[in-house]
Amino acid sequence: MKAQQGITLFLVIIILVVVTSLAAAVITETRLGMNAIGLTQEKLANEQEILGGFTEVMENPNLINDIMELTSTASSALSVTQSPDIIVGLTQRGEGYCKRSTKASSVNLISCRFVKMDFSQNNNRRVQGLAMTAGVEQPFLAAQNQ
């Protein structure tokens, strides 16, 4: 009977090691899951911030003046007041007849200026900042701008 008491102690130690290993694996998996959730939330916050900056720039009443002041060789930068981490660069891509406008129908009278807007994000989050490019087509009277 005394030999069996040592075997019981040995089996209890083996079970304790297995249960401790399983507990450590569960804790590690939970920690990694929480980290992944945090990174996903930061990525969604980046997306919302850059879309908010896009909305602010497009609703700016001075955007038309900024587009019309661009030259073919120069580019311009806009600031976003709600999200100071967003940088917006304007680059003129050309002028010509309006391709996408239903109102501007005369090829010789109304022209369009095509501008590329590059949105980039510089922030201190753990995930990399996003970038977005949008195109703007601004119709204008060609006779006044020549």
- pLDDT per residue as tens digits for the range 4-50: 557 888 888 999 999 999 999 999 988 888 888 888 888 888 888 88
Establish how many alpha carbons lie within 13 A of residue 31's alpha carbon, considering only the half-sphere containing its beta carbon: 6
Copy the structure tokens of residue 59: 């609703």
Tell me the per-residue pLDDT of 66-81, one tens digit each, with 9 for 90 and over. 888 877 776 777 777 7
Tokens for 25, please give them. 């694996």
pTM of the model as a whole: 0.63
